[in-house]
């Protein structure tokens, strides 16, 4: 099938250079309004497309896949995470799924480190004082936070991003501890000066800061539940730039409000952009609008991976970033 004949439908606007290059290579249909597609619009797109390019906000479930047209053979996801796509059903229907892994590692690790610095040092509160013209001058006891040097950082999930965070954390004098499904190679542990904990519960009770870097799967849903949150020190902080569903958000909110957890930095939320209203306004919480990957360079790199995946498929080969059952 010639590449130009492929009908490629984008569910959202992508960076202009990415869209321009796609238009040169394929028959592209853009979402000119850049508003999220309704379920009906998504169903219509899947019925007409040879390749669908969805984003994180598009839930491609079993019901939608059942209505897909015979021409749809590739879902080239614009993003590394693919928990919003029913990959098993897609594969059963002969539809390949690809993603964009690796390109956002440094961006996400940088943002994680920014939150690790910001929350204990109370940057949000200081900024609000300045923005609201409430600063009355320097005081020896005003806005005292905590230094992070010498503190124990617990990393849940030691993949690409977790290791990148560990590398940065060592430069700030943090002691790196981690829990992972599989222990890292001894050489990697040594390079990162990282201590492995087979028991997540035991690690939680000992760390001063916890940062989360695992995908959302059935086994990680509410992995940080009320019971586990209660294992943490009242002086501990929680940072999440991975997936909101990993934390029981209601339990975390209750503990933050009660002072049973010192603070949190959250870039992702359990119910997408429907953020728990009881989280808003808390002095000890930094909330960000899922912007850990929001760099120009990263989004262009993501687009390049999408193009390569589609072009490789168009040339009769498997996309290099195809999601396979072993990844689920």
Do 58 and 98 belong to one domain?
Answer: yes
pLDDT value at 17 more than 80: yes
Q: Are residues 158 and 68 both part of a single domain?
A: no
pLDDT (average), residues 201-213: 98
Whether the predicted pLDDT of 279 surpasses 90: yes
| Same domain? 194 vs 77 | no
Residue 325 has a pLDDT of 74
The string of pLDDT tens digits covering residues 154-188 is 999 999 999 999 999 999 999 999 999 999 999 99
Query: Can you give the pLDDT at residue 326?
Result: 65
- Cβ atoms 160, 109 nearer than 8 A: no
For residue 75 the two structure tokens come to 């879902």
In angstroms, rounded to a whole number, what is the distance separating the alpha carbons of residues 319 and 107?
24
pTM beyond cutoff 0.75: yes
Containing 76, the helix (H) or strand (E) segment is strand 74-76
Task: Return the pLDDT at 1.
Answer: 42
Residues 6+ apart with CB under 8 A from 73: 50, 51, 94, 95, 96, 313
For the chain, what is the domain count?
2
What are the DSSP E strand ranges found in 123-187?
152-156, 175-179
Confidence (pLDDT) at 328: 55
**Are residue 86 and residue 222 in the same domain, yes or no?**
no
Q: Is 198 helix (H, G, I), strand (E, B) or coil?
A: coil
Please answer whether residues 81 and 59 qualify as being in contact, where contact means their C-beta atoms are separated by less than 8 angstroms.
no
Q: Are 166 and 261 within one domain? A: yes
Mean pLDDT of 197-224: 96
Share of the chain above pLDDT 90, in %: 94
Res 5: pLDDT: 75
Q: How far is CA 73 from CA 51, 228, 304, 313, in A?
A: 6, 42, 20, 9
Residue 321's domain comprises 3-103+295-327
Question: How many whole angstroms separate alpha carbon 167 and alpha carbon 184?
Answer: 14
| CATH number of the structural domain spanning residue 177 | 3.40.50.720
- Rounded CA gap, 285 and 263, in Å? 6
Please say if the pLDDT value at position 224 is more than 70: yes
* Whether 90 and 54 share a structural domain: yes
In a shared domain, residues 197 and 265 = yes
- Do 323 and 208 lie in a common domain? no
The residue assigned the tokens 């902080």 is 237
Q: What is the CA radius of gyration of the chain?
A: 22
pLDDT digit string, tens, across residues 225-253: 999 999 999 999 999 999 999 999 999 99
224 and 112 share a domain? yes
pLDDT at 29 over 80: yes
* pLDDT at 310 exceeding the cut of 60: yes
Same domain, 136 and 240: yes
| Statement to judge: residues 305 and 248 lie in one domain | no
Strand segments (E) across 80-169: 96-98, 152-156
Whether 246 and 124 map to the same domain: the answer is: yes
User: pLDDT value at position 2?
Assistant: 44
């Amino acid at each position: 099938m010639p590449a130009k004949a492929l009908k490629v439908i984008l569910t959202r606007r992508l960076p202009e250079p990415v869209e321009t290059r796609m238009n040169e290579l394929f028959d592209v249909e853009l979402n000119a309004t850049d508003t999220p597609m309704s379920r009906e619009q998504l169903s219509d797109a899947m019925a007409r497309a040879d390749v669908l390019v969805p984003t994180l906000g598009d839930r491609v479930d079993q019901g939608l896949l059942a209505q897909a047209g015979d021409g749809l053979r590739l879902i080239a996801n614009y993003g590394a995470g693919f928990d919003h796509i029913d990959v098993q059903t897609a594969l059963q229907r002969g539809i390949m799924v690809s993603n964009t892994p690796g390109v956002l590692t440094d961006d996400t690790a940088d943002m994680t480190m920014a939150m690790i610095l910001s929350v204990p040092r109370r940057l949000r509160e200081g900024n609000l004082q300045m923005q609201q013209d409430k600063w009355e001058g320097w005081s020896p006891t005003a806005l005292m936070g905590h230094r992070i040097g010498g503190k124990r950082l617990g990393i849940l999930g030691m993949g690409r991003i977790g290791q990148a965070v560990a590398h940065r954390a060592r430069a700030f004098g943090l002691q790196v501890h981690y829990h992972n499904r599989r222990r890292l190679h001894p050489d990697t542990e040594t390079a990162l000066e990282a201590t492995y904990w087979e028991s997540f519960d035991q690690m939680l009770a000992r760390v001063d800061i916890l940062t989360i870097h695992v995908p959302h799967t059935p086994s990680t849903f509410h992995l940080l539940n009320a019971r586990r949150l209660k294992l943490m020190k009242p002086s501990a902080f929680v940072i999440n730039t991975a997936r909101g569903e990993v934390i029981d958000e209601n339990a975390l909110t209750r503990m933050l409000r009660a002072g049973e957890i010192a603070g949190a930095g959250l870039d992702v939320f359990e119910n997408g952009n429907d953020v728990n209203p009881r989280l808003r306004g808390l002095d000890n919480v930094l909330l960000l609008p899922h912007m850990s990957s929001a760099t120009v360079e990263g989004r262009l790199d993501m687009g390049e991976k999408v193009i390569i995946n589609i072009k490789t498929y168009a040339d009769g080969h498997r996309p290099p970033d195809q999601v396979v059952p072993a990844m689920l």
